[in-house]
Amino acid sequence: MSETPPIGGHVMVAGGLATGGLAYAAGIGAEMIQVFVSNPRGWALTPGVPAEDARLRESGTPTFVHACYLVNLGSPNPDTLTKSVASVRHALTRAAAIGARGVVVHTGSAVSRSREEALLQVREHLLPLLDEIPDDGPDLLLEPMAGQGRMLCATVQDLGPYLAALDFHPRAGVCLDTCHAFAAGHDLAAPGGVRETFDALHAIAPGRLKLIHANDSKDPVGSNRDHHENIGAGHIGAEAFGEIMRHPVAAGVPLCVETPGKAVKHREDIELLKRLRAA
């Protein structure tokens, strides 16, 4: 019997990481949570509230932190690079304080430079951050994107050179977003599509899948558009998520919804995923 994956979602934390986050989690039936520890669309580095940190840590809730959306370690802009490094370091520090299992970071874009140049820069600045993570600290989870622009990682196969640039560091894990993967060309809705995608991930990054962002897609496969949809209401369809939970590579890996709508919709998505898990 494979390990049961906890199912949850990204939670609102108004009122405090623990006070707001755990209440939101209870309201949507979440067994795990993902949080922001600073403004996701700004560079300000928000300090924690020790009492909130302790309460969340002591709750035992499997927790993940999503780094700022602006982070791009492949950027040719020196200011963006400096702020990206500071933001990821802050997210890792805050994640350790709340007992989070991992910090999700977008893999970034080459923007106007070559992929090779960008990956060399990622190596130079991400390896020291990975080395700083304490033994009991969070993993850094690389999240491939939907393939728009000059993204450094979109397909599962793109993770190969990215991880190689990081010397396959033991603290470098993977967060797979189903909407991103579908948009990048992995047809999770087709017969055998889930198996093919997760088999490929295992071949490239065995044992590194630590989190799945469970999102349906408003757009067809290969669209390169990152438009999340509620589970079963998009082009991926509910059945694929059941297949994902039955694939051995995903055994025990938490699923986190980042779907449209507020608490009511998030609860519906989580309930549907729980039914698929039990099937």
Q: Which residues are annotated as a binding site for Zn(2+)?
A: 66, 106, 143, 177, 180, 213, 226, 228, 258
Which residues have CB under 8 Å from 64's CB, separation 6+? 32, 33, 34, 35, 95, 100, 101, 102, 103, 104, 138, 141, 175, 211, 254, 256
> What phi, psi does 176 have (nearest 5°)?
-100, 120
> What phi, psi does 53 have (nearest 5°)?
-60, -45
Known binding positions: 66, 106, 143, 177, 180, 213, 226, 228, 258
Question: What's the token pair of residue 205?
Answer: 């990054």
